[in-house]
Amino acid sequence: MNVLDSTHDPERRAWVPSAQAPDSDFPIQNLPLGVFSRGGDTPRGGVAIGDQVLDLRAALEAGLIRGEAAEAAAGPTLNRLMAMGRPASRDLRQQVSDLLAEGSDARARADDILIPISGVQMHLPSAIANFSDFMVSRDHSWRLGATKDAIAPLPPAFDSIPIAYHSRASSVRVSGEPVVRPNGQWKRGDGVHFGPTEALDYELELAIWLAGENPLGTPVPMSQAPGRLFGYGLLNDWSARDVQRWEMPPLGPFLSKSLSTSVSPWIVTAEAMIPFAIPARRAEGAPPPLPYLDSAENRARGGLSIALEVWLLTPRMKAEGGGPARLTATDFATMAWTPAQMVTHHATNGCNLLPGDLLGSGTCSGPTDESRACMAEIILTGPIMLPNGETRRFLEDGDEVIFRGRAHAPGAVSIGFGECRASILPAPPWPAA
């Protein structure tokens, strides 16, 4: 499954000049997939290359790519391609890489098949049938668990299973769409309060997009799990902490999460991530996973190294013409469970995972202070002091939150995830119209 090929060759260069910039998120070794439209026309699949989008439908019509995978990827969502599984993604990747590589005749057709990213509108990459959210950062769990009256800050099953809950599919939105501050209810003093949340937070997560399908009642063993990983993106699991604390016992988070979830538009495929695989991490003292959640392949290459960042841009920063301030710098490498383990766990009971289903990794906090990946963790040591003198405990109306991600590995060309960003709009007045 995870074999390097010519598409990963660090010497390969695209004929698109912007893709050759060393800081480009989208060199020819990346080739992330997304769905875009221009001027309100029909959404269709595209590949990011430098500062351009390769229009897969146009490339198909020009005869520059062909076959079932190319046709599936040129549709209005990527679900059809996702249903075809990893071999289809590999086939498409090879075709697109060859098309964009220096020396390809396709360069003569650049005007027909490339569109500047700045001129397109991005859409959700799949029609998401199901969204499940995990909690696999030991540091995130420990920091927040230790604030409660708990003898053991970690949930009892934390080292035994990748803990997760079902979240809301209908409220997932693509980067750029604003987030409305939710109204909600929580305990305040002796009474119960209702109004706009006063504790709106971000959670920096990895988005994991699924390929293939297992019928209901049929588990997915670890040997098959890598084949179910279509690709990765950035995910902001917006959270209303006051609502969350009140509603959680005993059934878990509900309205504190379903207000909105933002995802980055470009899916960095599992093929593109092969050079950035690392051994699965196991915390010191943690027991080994039970055999059904373990494999030699996973121990050797189940993890992923992805540097992840959160930036905050306040209305005052915008007014002052300043840039955003970095709140978080972390790495997915510190997670306690791998994406393959999440898939096998999720289907342990025979739950049918569908093509285009979305998993969130949970907040990707690491052990250092700068790697705290949500505000609830950061403010445990005091308010957030911003470079321009502003302070924050939680997000305010007008704040814009920006996620970035980038994978590095020795001998590999570094690739990026683009951005996941959204601004906060004020809560609607109540009673609602």
Q: Which stretch binds a copy of itself (CB under 8 A): 13-21, 240-248, 315-323, 381-389?
A: 240-248
CA distances from 209 to 117, 126, 392 (A): 22, 9, 33
Q: How many residues does the chain have?
A: 433
Q: How many residues bind a copy of itself (CB under 8 A)?
A: 70
Q: Which C-beta is closer to a copy of itself: that of 67 or that of 221?
A: 221
The DSSP output letter for 60 is: H
Q: List, as residue ranges, the binding site for substrate.
A: 244, 363
Q: List, as residue ranges, the binding site for Mg(2+).
A: 237, 257, 261
140: annotated active-site residue: yes
Going by C-alpha positions, the residue among 131, 186, 200 that lies closest to residue 358 is: 131
- Which of the residues 8, 123, 140, 408 is marked catalytic? 140
CA distances from 178 to 172, 238, 263 (A): 12, 12, 12
Give the containing element (helix H, strand E) for 299: helix 296-301
The DSSP output letter for 428 is: P
Q: Which stretch binds a copy of itself (CB under 8 A): 91-99, 217-225, 227-235, 382-390?
A: 217-225
The reply to whether 180 sits near a copy of itself by the rule CB under 8 A is yes
Q: Long-range CB contacts (< 8 A, 24+ apart) of 92-95?
A: 92/65, 92/67, 93/7, 93/31, 93/269, 93/271, 93/272, 94/5, 94/6, 94/7, 95/65, 95/66, 95/67, 95/69, 95/70
The reply to whether 160 sits near a copy of itself by the rule CB under 8 A is yes
Q: Tell me the closest approach of the beta carbon of residue 242 to a copy of itself, in angstroms.
A: 12
ω before 339 within 30° of 0 (cis)?
Answer: no
Q: List, as residue ranges, the binding site for Ca(2+).
A: 133, 203, 205, 237
Residues in 412-431 at the binding interface with a copy of itself, rule: CB under 8 A: 425, 428, 430-431
Measure the CA–CA gap between 27 and 48, rounded to whole angstroms: 9
Query: Of the candidates 151, 251, 296, 319, which one interacts with a copy of itself according to CB under 8 A?
Result: 251
Q: Which residues are catalytic?
A: 140
Site of interaction with a copy of itself (CB under 8 A): 129-130, 132-133, 135, 145, 155-157, 160-161, 163-171, 173, 180, 182-185, 187, 192, 194, 216-221, 223, 240, 243, 246-256, 258-260, 287, 290, 292, 345-346, 348-354, 357, 425, 428, 430-432
